[in-house]
Amino acid sequence: MQSLHGNSRYTSPTGSLSTTAALALSVFVAVPVFGIGKQGWLGYIKTYTQPTPIMLPFNIISELSRTLALAVRLFGNMMSGAMIVGILLTIVPLVFPIVMTALGLLTGMVQAYIFTVLAGVYIAAATLVTKPKESPQSPTVDSKTTH
């Protein structure tokens, strides 16, 4: 955000790709940590090969792309907000600073919420324990109840 004299007052920490990448990497590490903690090594690795072992490379690529998407989504949304504020402040420097600061704070809260929800969804998916399906059994007739 620019002041009337052109000096920068503050910048968003997530306006830097290195910060958003670090946040996304923390989620990337947390997902298997919680998944292995809940399901064990074999149970967690088994989820990568379901429904068939052919899915293993695709699931690994999915994990990596999900991390990249988290970082780029947060960075892009916050950076675009800063660019819009900068452009509007050059056009109308006396009217927009307070309104745009409020909108910037709202945008930051929404992005933090989305990032947290997505991280929670990813961790919940990693900790989901699937139980094997029970085979259907034929009903048994109890000989004591029949007369």
Q: Kindly report which listed range (39-53, 100-114, 120-134) carries the lowest average pLDDT score.
A: 120-134
Q: What is the pLDDT of the chain when averaged over all its residues?
A: 79
pLDDT, residue 133, reads: 63
Per-residue pLDDT tens for 2-49?
A: 444 344 566 677 777 888 888 889 999 998 899 889 888 888 888 888
- Which long-range contacts link 110-119 to residues 24+ away (Cβ below 8 Å)? 111/14, 111/74, 111/77, 111/78, 114/73, 115/23, 115/70, 115/74, 118/27, 118/70, 119/27, 119/30, 119/70
Distances (CA, A) of 102 to 96, 107, 123: 10, 9, 32
Q: Report the Cα 32 to chain-centroid distance in Å.
A: 14
Q: Give the pLDDT confidence score for residue 134 in this predicted structure.
A: 64
What is the reported pLDDT for 1? 44
Q: What is the pTM of this model?
A: 0.67
In contact, 108 and 20? CB cutoff 8 Å: no
DSSP annotation of 88 reads: H
